[in-house]
Amino acid sequence: MKKREFLVSSVGIGAVLPAISAVAASEKAVSADEEIKGLFRVNPYLQNVSETEVTVMWMTRTTCFSWVEWGETKELGNATQSIVDGQVTANNTLNKITISGLEPGTSYFYRIYSREIIEYNPYKVKWGATEKSAVLSFTTPHVKSDSLNCIFFNDIHDRLQTFNALLDQVKGFDHDLSIFNGDCFNDPRSEEHVYPLLDAYGQGVRAAERPVIYLRGNHEIRGSYSRQWPSVGSNPGGKQYFAMRRGPIQFIFMDCGEDKPDSHQAYSGLNDFEGFHREQAGWLEKEIEKPEFKNAKYRVLVHHIPIYGLNEKKYNPWKSLWGPAMNRAGFDISFHGHTHRAVIHPPMTAGEHNFPVIIGGGPTMDNGTLTLLQADATELTVKLVGTDGRCIATHTVPART
């Protein structure tokens, strides 16, 4: 998290956060216990969950002041709000509140609150209704954990019928993490376009209690809302590329950007992904040398456009720029989408990928797929599943010793 982005205050309820206290003292305020529905536009979803902190995000229909109450029991007992440069975040609709100081491998309970701001005047705020969520829960990960269950979606392209059919295949799979690996939001145009999808995806994968990652594909980069789209998530380090440890897996997430050169007329001269690709190449070289990468039982690569298994005539600057480092790193497996054809490519000979490449299908009911990952102390197993529940392909890699 950047130092000046979201500086968060977290104290016991008994100490009372200044802004929360001020709201309670206002003669116009409504008690938080007088629950009034209708403020939440996008229900809470967990972002950037680490061993010691979690970011809770949600959106309201109108400008509000919002906070999170949390604790190790359902009685909660702590409250956290967002503070930026001395000001409590308020009069906004997009909420991003980070709870810090947590313990690894520990279960916590939380509830979100939003207080409507009807008028924001220089010396007096006129308050409206308050809405609170149900008491929810999450568990922080532990680096010593030997297991992880993960769900991958890709290339849904706004088609909720396909998404819901895939969700039916998740029943009975107790996932710890869900990853939307690009092109799930098709050319985002506005909040009115993005937010309903975000809420549908989040509720589908129980993102209020289990962390979710939303990665960009080339279609999230298109559309009039594409520059704002990254604000609906919170990744480690605040970038669209990042590394993350979950149980026995060290993940590396990359961002391919667009599927055509920056000079293509479709982009009106408003892209510079060539520079972005070079930036990531330098970062990747350093990341694969870190102890947390080298010591992981499994090394997993994730990005939307596959640089192996892609038609040789297609635009592919990543193969020469990233490929040598990826092969030298010793990845155990990689996950992708984009081609709309589900397939598992086994490791190839030198000069190509020396790790298996998993490509999901989509977006139609006939081609849509879900990827299930299960890792434990001995092996990592992947299964590609269709909307009808049929197993399309599987692959297993052994744990590093």
Q: Is 61 among the domain residues? A: yes
Question: Does residue 122 sit in the same domain as residue 194?
Answer: no
Q: Is 2 among the domain residues? A: no
Q: Is 98 among the domain residues? A: yes
Q: Which helix (H) or strand (E) holds 77?
A: none
Question: Does residue 163 sit in the same domain as residue 122?
Answer: no
Question: In 296-305, which positions are buried (b, 16+ CB within 10 angstroms) versus exposed (e)?
Answer: bbbbbbbbbb
Give the position of tokens 């962390």.
211
Instruction: Give the total number of structural domains in the chain.
Output: 2
Question: Does residue 126 sit in the same domain as residue 182?
Answer: no
Residue 212: name the closest of 58, 399, 9, 381 by CA. 58
Q: Given 113, 139, 165, which residue is the final one in a domain?
A: 139
* Beta strands 333-336; 249-253: pairing state: unpaired
pLDDT of residue 34: 44
Domain, as residue range, for 19? 7-139
pLDDT of residue 143: 85
Question: Does residue 161 sit in the same domain as residue 264?
Answer: yes
Please report, for the domain that includes residue 262, its CATH number.
Answer: 3.60.21.10
C-alpha 195/C-alpha 188 separation (Å) is 10
Q: Is 295 among the domain residues? A: yes
Question: Does residue 337 sit in the same domain as residue 319?
Answer: yes
C-alpha 86/C-alpha 65 separation (Å) is 15
Rg from Cα positions in the chain? 22
Question: Does residue 215 sit in the same domain as residue 319?
Answer: yes
C-alpha 312/C-alpha 194 separation (Å) is 33
Question: Does residue 123 sit in the same domain as residue 155?
Answer: no
Q: Is 1 among the domain residues? A: no
DSSP single-letter state for residue 352: B
pLDDT of residue 348: 80
Question: Does residue 30 sit in the same domain as residue 131?
Answer: yes
Q: Given 122, 139, 156, which residue is the final one in a domain?
A: 139
Tens-of-pLDDT digits for all 401 residues of the chain?
Answer: 333 333 333 444 433 454 454 444 343 444 444 444 599 999 999 999 999 999 999 999 999 999 999 999 999 999 999 999 999 999 999 999 999 999 999 999 999 999 999 999 999 999 999 999 999 999 999 989 999 999 999 999 999 999 999 999 999 899 999 999 999 999 999 999 999 999 999 999 999 999 999 999 999 999 999 999 999 999 999 999 999 999 999 999 999 999 999 999 999 999 999 999 999 999 999 999 999 999 999 999 999 999 998 888 899 999 999 999 999 999 999 999 999 999 999 998 656 899 999 999 999 999 999 999 999 999 999 999 999 999 999 999 999 98
Question: Does residue 237 sit in the same domain as residue 280?
Answer: yes
Please report, for the domain that includes residue 45, its CATH number.
Answer: 2.60.40.10
Question: Does residue 92 sit in the same domain as residue 174?
Answer: no
| Cα atoms in the Cβ-side hemisphere of radius 13 Å centred on 211 | 23
Q: Is 115 among the domain residues? A: yes
C-alpha 133/C-alpha 15 separation (Å) is 22
CA 13 to chain centre: 29
Question: Does residue 115 sit in the same domain as residue 178?
Answer: no
Q: Given 139, 167, 199, which residue is the final one in a domain?
A: 139
Q: Is 256 among the domain residues? A: yes
- Residues 6 or more apart in contact with residue 168 via CB below 8 angstroms: 387, 389
pLDDT of residue 210: 98
pLDDT of residue 74: 98
pLDDT of residue 17: 52
Question: Does residue 160 sit in the same domain as residue 117?
Answer: no
CA 301 to chain centre: 15
Q: Is 326 among the domain residues? A: yes
